[in-house]
Amino acid sequence: MTIRSNPSGALVEIDGERIGLTPVSMDFTYYGTREFTISAPGYESLTVLQPVPAPPGQRFPLDFFTNHFMPRKVTDRHDFTYNLMRRNAPIDEESDLINRARDFRSQAEVGGTGQP
């Protein structure tokens, strides 16, 4: 699956695990609902419960036949795009400073530039 954001370069966490900066792609094995958290300095963090639906050939009972008798491997791709909203003027400057510092630290841990 591929996750994109506007603006690009946002930190992506899926089910609490840091994946990287957008655009980012990852392989997955299981379908279902995943928790995506996308954050970037100067923007509101976005948390979404994103369903990742299985294609018809990967649903019971067809999945047995497609997994065991298909001559080639089936690849399923999902592409998700999210728009982040700019952060409004802070009401509490101290908590805003702490939140921005956490955002920058998160970006630095995965190699981001820390620029809005």
The pLDDT of residue 113 is 52
How many domains does the chain divide into?
1
CATH of the domain at 75: 2.60.40.1120
Residue 51 lies in a domain: yes
Amino acid identity for residue 104 in this structure: F
pLDDT tops 80 at residue 111? no
The pLDDT of residue 85 is 93
Residue 115 lies in a domain: no
The pLDDT of residue 75 is 67
pTM of full prediction above 0.85: no
Domain extent for 99 = 2-109
Tens-digit pLDDT profile for residues 39-91: 998 899 999 999 988 766 566 666 656 666 667 666 678 899 999 999 876 55
Residue 116 lies in a domain: no
